[in-house]
Amino acid sequence: MTVQISPPSVADDKIGRPGLGLALTAILIVFYFGFVGLGAFAPAVLARPLVEGGTVTIAFAYGLFVIALGVALTGIYVLVANRAGVR
Amino acid sequence: MTVSASRRALAGLAALATALAPAPALAQTGAAGGLNLTAIALFTTVVVGTLFITYRAAKRTQSASDFYTAGGRITGFQNGLAIAGDFISAGAFLGLAGLVYGNGFDGLIYAVGYTTGLPIVVFLMAERLRALGRFTFTDVACTRLQEKPIRIFAASASLVVIAFYLIAQMVGGGQLIRLLLGLDYLYAQFIVGILMICYVLFGGMVATTWVQITKAVLFLIGGTVIALLVMGHFGFDYGALLRQAVSRHPRGEAILTPQFLSRDPVSAISLGLALMFGTAGLPHILMRFFTVPDARAARVSVFWASVWMNYFFALVFVIGFGALALVAKNPAYVNAAGGLIGGGNMAAIHLSHAVGGDLMLGFISAVAFATILAVVAGLTLAGATAVSHDLYASVFRRAGASEASEVRVSRYATVILGIVAIGLGIAFQNQNVAYMVSLAFSVACSSTLPLLILVLYWPGLTTRGAVAGGCVGLGTALLFTVLGRPVWVGVLGYATPIFPIDPPTIVTMPLAFLVCYVVSVTDRSPQARIDHQRSASIGRTAPPVPAAAE
């Protein structure tokens, strides 16, 4: 049977770019495992309130930051890869 | 099966679903006491609506490539929504809200972890997978390694991962139906299972893609509305929301920061690994990258997927703690013992009723249920593909398997998987579904992921090394899960687990990589030479000419 869907185009030849992918992966790993690591080894840091006397802790801010970082890094990757594909 | 026969069967099923809904005879009560007809009517409408989409799509399913990957006709934005739809599963919504409800911020660790999975797939794999032009992880591995052993291993690993993921969805779906319709859990499981089989049998991937898109949009809208209503309840002051949540939880202020991470740092890092890298090994996620026409559209689709998915997981910050603030200690939603009516996964469903009344309850239940069906259908399809395409067509019936017979085997496999799913859903009925999803991730991380990474990045991998490493990873992940908390304590009921680390990823994932490496570098078999030659000729620089017509 034919399982070939959407054959690779010329732009697809550039399957390299491992540098960019690996760099972005490293950034995400550092910040995400920073979060997990703080929770595991220094929970007091995450338990501090974000604003003095407030209820929202640093844990919430850091968690949301990791979520936003995922979108931002994906956006950077797609922009760079699609630019390279057009050229 | 002919199209007209399937059309008739589906129409019959839709009628059955309509007939079933208003006539639940069994004892239990709905969320607000007694049967909630408004909610049930809305629920039935949305579920029948998604069945209709499946039915329309069924008419367009022409060839095997239509059945598997929607014929590559989906646009980038649409596919992005569909990928997001795959992630915004019952595990995400019901399970995470339930985890936060029970454990406070600990539940959000899972929410944050889930968002790190897709970027990893994009950065490390999507590009290379597409460039190879293959549409399952197995096909990719077979471009370089000997086909038969790889396909057998890959199909087995996929089936195990799919089984764990299926459990989560089946439990969520069963609890939802039980709560909403007041049916016994057993009957609820059968309804979920049968509807799911019909989805896949009559629609294939076109249907699941369209159902995913529809449902992702509905879910994003529903989640946003609930979050806004919850925030409105507290005058848009997140601090006030948290203060009330703290006052309702026995552990008080402790719920505002991670707790279990510091209690068991090894398991914490293990969980982090599983959540981050597990996604990349999930078979049904990888398939989605092939439903768009070109690489550019594929990239655009993953960007949109990450936007919608991460937005949704951010909503859990409000919905989870909102459930704690508004549902806990409210006699309408908790029973005499203080537990949630309908089970621990139902916190978000109760919250929708607390802030939006019967209409919101019906709407959210319906969307959650449609989500479960669609995710389950996607999983089942991936499982059926593993059986029909990897095992049947390529291994057992290599010479004679026609496209028609492959599609037929795939349909049989779907029915069998559906029956297995019903059984597993019954066995694991009291587990939190987000937690079950993390187990699927941990198995994927230890079996399919190491192979995939090494096939894409390391030319030295040989067939023997790949199969040995993959089998060791899969076997140990499975064994330690059974001997660990999830099965040994959760299902079999023993007091303490034999294997302490939960999930076992931190041990099993490096082990799989290590065995792959050691066996590959010591492999002197004739096949190893062939593997090296093939990887030298294709692997790294240009995509191979795809060997179509297999």
Rounded to two decimals, the pTM is 0.81
| Cross-chain Cβ contact B306/A24 below 8 Å | no
Asked if A73 is an interface residue toward chain B (Cβ–Cβ < 8 A), one would say yes
How many other CB atoms are there within 10 angstroms of residue B343's CB atom?
23
Q: Residue B451: which residues within 8 A CB-CB, separation 6 or more? A: B137, B141, B154, B466, B469, B470, B516
C-alpha radius of gyration, chain B, whole number: 23
The residue with greater pLDDT, A82 or B19, is: A82
- Residues B377, B200 contacting (CB under 8 angstroms): yes
Q: Which residues of A touch B262 (CB under 8 A)?
A: 39-41, 43
In A, minimum Cα distance to B114 occurs at A67
Asked if A53 is an interface residue toward chain B (Cβ–Cβ < 8 A), one would say no
Question: What pLDDT score was predicted for residue A28?
Answer: 95
pLDDT in tens, B250-271: 888 888 888 888 888 898 899 9
Instruction: Please name every residue paired with B334 in a beta bridge, in sequence order, or none if there are none.
Output: B340
Q: How far is A44 from chain B (nearest CA, A)?
A: 9
Highest mean pLDDT among B57-71, B313-327, B333-347: B313-327
The residue with greater pLDDT, B106 or B200, is: B106
Least confidently predicted of A74-83, B171-180, B402-411, B441-450: B402-411
Average pLDDT, chain B: 79
| Cross-chain Cβ contact B128/A15 below 8 Å | yes
Chain centre distance of CA B136: 16
Q: How far is B301 from chain A (nearest CA, A)?
A: 10
Dist CA B341 CA B34 (whole Å): 13
The angle subtended at Cα B402 by Cα B396 and Cα B405, nearest 5°, is 75
pLDDT in tens, B169-203: 888 888 888 888 888 888 888 888 888 787 777 66
Question: Confidence class of residue B399 from pLDDT cuts 50, 70 and 90?
Answer: low
% chain B with pLDDT above 90: 18
Dist CA B272 CA B256 (whole Å): 19
Asked if B459 is an interface residue toward chain A (Cβ–Cβ < 8 A), one would say no
pLDDT greater than 50 at residue B19: no
The residue with greater pLDDT, B58 or B518, is: B518
The residue with greater pLDDT, A13 or B274, is: B274
pLDDT greater than 80 at residue B484: yes
Instruction: Please name every residue paired with B427 in a beta bridge, in sequence order, or none if there are none.
Output: none
Dist CA A50 CA A47 (whole Å): 9
pLDDT in tens, B40-74: 888 888 778 877 776 676 666 555 555 555 555 66
Interface test with B, best of A15, A30, A62, A87 (most B CBs within 10 A): A15
What ipTM describes this predicted complex?
0.83
Q: What is the 3-state secondary structure (H, E, C) of B240-290?
A: HHHHHHHHHCCCHHHHHCCCHHHHCHHHHHHHHHHHHHHHHHCHHHHHHHH
pLDDT in tens, B352-394: 999 988 888 888 888 888 778 777 777 787 788 788 877 887 7
Q: Which residues of A touch B261 (CB under 8 A)?
A: 36, 39-40, 43
pLDDT in tens, B111-142: 999 899 889 888 888 777 777 766 667 777 88
The residue with greater pLDDT, B181 or B545, is: B181
Question: What pLDDT score was predicted for residue B7?
Answer: 45
Q: How far is A43 from chain B (nearest CA, A)?
A: 7
Q: Which residues of A touch B389 (CB under 8 A)?
A: 3
| Cross-chain Cβ contact B119/A28 below 8 Å | yes
Q: Where are the alpha helices (DSSP H) in chain A?
A: 18-41, 43-47, 58-86
φ, ψ for residue A57, nearest 5 deg: -90, 170
Question: What pLDDT score was predicted for residue B339?
Answer: 80
| Cross-chain Cβ contact A71/B306 below 8 Å | yes
pLDDT in tens, A62-72: 999 999 999 99
pLDDT greater than 70 at residue B444: yes
Asked if B140 is an interface residue toward chain A (Cβ–Cβ < 8 A), one would say no
Question: What pLDDT score was predicted for residue A11?
Answer: 41
Least confidently predicted of B56-60, B296-300, B439-443, B500-504: B56-60
First-to-last alpha carbon distance for chain B, in angstroms, is 23
The residue with greater pLDDT, B406 or B91, is: B406
Question: What pLDDT score was predicted for residue B30?
Answer: 40
- Interface A–B counts its CB contacts (< 8 A) at 199
Asked if A61 is an interface residue toward chain B (Cβ–Cβ < 8 A), one would say no
Question: What pLDDT score was predicted for residue B318?
Answer: 94
Residue range B442-469: mean pLDDT, rounded:
90
Q: Which amino acid is at A53?
A: G
| Cross-chain Cβ contact A70/B300 below 8 Å | no
Q: Which two tokens stand for residue B486?
A: 């999830």
Question: Confidence class of residue B291 from pLDDT cuts 50, 70 and 90?
Answer: low
pLDDT greater than 80 at residue A3: no
Question: What pLDDT score was predicted for residue B4?
Answer: 45
Question: Confidence class of residue B27 from pLDDT cuts 50, 70 and 90?
Answer: very low
Dist CA B216 CA B228 (whole Å): 18
Residue range B455-462: mean pLDDT, rounded:
88
pLDDT greater than 90 at residue B163: no
Residue range A16-26: mean pLDDT, rounded:
81
Listed by number, the residues of chain A in 13-42 with a beta carbon closer than 8 Å to a beta carbon of chain B are 13, 15, 17-18, 20-22, 24-25, 28-29, 32-33, 35-37, 39-41
Dist CA B197 CA B206 (whole Å): 15
| Cross-chain Cβ contact A41/B262 below 8 Å | yes
| Cross-chain Cβ contact A36/B269 below 8 Å | yes
Enter the DSSP assignment of B486.
I
| Cross-chain Cβ contact B109/A11 below 8 Å | no
| Of A7, A18, A77, Cβ closest to residue B133 | A7
Residue range B409-421: mean pLDDT, rounded:
86
Question: What pLDDT score was predicted for residue B205?
Answer: 56
Asked if A65 is an interface residue toward chain B (Cβ–Cβ < 8 A), one would say no
Q: Which of B78, B21, B66, B361 shows the shortest CA–CA distance to B216? A: B78
Residue range B488-496: mean pLDDT, rounded:
80
Q: What size, in residues, is chain B?
A: 550
Asked if A10 is an interface residue toward chain B (Cβ–Cβ < 8 A), one would say no
